[in-house]
Amino acid sequence: MRRIIDLTEGTAMVVADLHGDGEAYARYCDRFLDLRAHGRAQTLILAGDLLHRTPPHPDDSLAMILDVLRLKRELGDHLIYLMGNHELPHRYAITLMRGDDLFTPRFEWAMGEHRAEIVALLDSLPVYVRTPGGVAIAHAGAPPGLDEAGAAARLFDLSHEEILAETAVSLPPDFRPQLRKLLGRQAGRSYDRLVHDYFAVAGPDDPRYDDYLIGSSAIAAHPDADLLWRALFTKNEEQYGRAYSAHLRAFLQALSADYPHPQRVLVSGHIDVEGGYKLVNKQQLRLASAKHAHPREAGLYLLFDVTQKVEKAEELLPGLASVF
């Protein structure tokens, strides 16, 4: 499945990393719908990590993603929801932690009767947006390794279903009991208790019983899952230092390779900033709309004409605005 969306016209509103903050989500949606009604914006881009709020704050992730499904039916291609690293665990049935906070179980249990519809949405999510003006949108930033032969093509056309199916075939039935014991031991509980507590799996007869076994094995060993992991978890210059500039150049070149409009500037979220944005370098703008803005009320969205040529990230700054 193609993981890149190509916009052709209009003005886009970009919002990043709302992380289960229903009040912020409502503000941004109201702002977009008002702009749309007045012809000032046509496309809303939710740049990943809509899910998971850290206690003690109320987590509105379920209500938000159900509203995205509703808006998607209303807006069609004018609503773009990118996969972030907090969406990934619920497609691959893996755990995600930050410090002592285990994010996965809350949303797995919350999905309930909506699980099939939500997982289908997560399976369909794109990873990148390209525009004629040369501005690309990603959740996390530029991953390393896209200068390796074939890597970009594999990432841009990645199939979660194929990754999981290939991994399942590689795990024969007679090997799985041993692997279940290992996974349970690592978690300090039996495998049955683990998948019940973390993923709302009823027991061995549940069709999702081995999803954690397969998903965790895929993330650990499948080369395409490794590409996706790097794309969604990259910490940019904080992780790679001076080498990050080369990763960014290679990434923008890869996005431009089969596209008539060179991609020159990247907009991403994923990482905390003081205020609502940071110029990472001349070619990248980091956006924080709520969770990653410090303070939260400094969060911003980006409004830009997708056809207007942009050479440097700083040219986007006039399009930053607040809903707080």
The residue ranges of every structural domain in the chain are 4-168+213-321
Query: Which of 11, 1, 10, 28 lies closest to 276 in space, CA to CA?
Result: 28
Parallel, antiparallel or unpaired: strands 135-138 and 265-268: parallel
**Averaged over 35-47, what is the pLDDT?**
99
pLDDT at 180: 98
pLDDT at 315: 99
Under 8 Å between Cβ of 9 and 306 = yes
pLDDT at 122: 99
Q: How far is CA 270 from CA 147, 232, 253, 291, 305, in A?
A: 23, 9, 22, 9, 23
pLDDT at 108: 97
**Averaged over 177-199, what is the pLDDT?**
97
Query: Which of 88, 105, 98 lies closest to 232 in space, CA to CA?
Result: 88
Query: Which of 15, 23, 198 lies closest to 105 in space, CA to CA?
Result: 198
Before 58, cis peptide (omega within 30)?
no
- Tens digit of each residue's pLDDT (9 = 90 or more) over 247-297: 999 999 999 999 999 999 999 999 999 999 999 999 999 999 999 999 999
pLDDT band at 55; cut points 50, 70, 90:
confident
Q: Is 295 exposed, middle or buried (0-12, 13-18, 19+ CB in 10 A)?
A: exposed
pLDDT band at 320; cut points 50, 70, 90:
very high
Class of 4-168+213-321 per CATH?
Answer: alpha beta
Q: Is 228 helix (H, G, I), strand (E, B) or coil?
A: helix
pLDDT at 57: 85
Tokens 């794309």 belong to residue: 231
Distance between CA 289 and CA 300 in Å, rounded? 5
Share of the chain above pLDDT 90, in %: 96
Is the predicted pLDDT of residue 30 greater than 80, yes or no? yes
Distance between CA 16 and CA 299 in Å, rounded? 9
| AA letter at 296 | R
**Averaged over 80-109, what is the pLDDT?**
94
Is the predicted pLDDT of residue 147 greater than 90, yes or no? no
Strand ranges for the chain from DSSP E: 4-6, 11-15, 43-46, 79-81, 97-98, 101-102, 128-130, 135-138, 265-268, 273-274, 277-281, 284-287, 293-294, 301-305, 320-321
pLDDT at 306: 99
Give the full edge-to-edge strand order of the sheet including 79-81: 79-81, 43-46, 11-15, 301-305, 320-321
Q: For all residues of the chain together, what is the average pLDDT?
A: 97
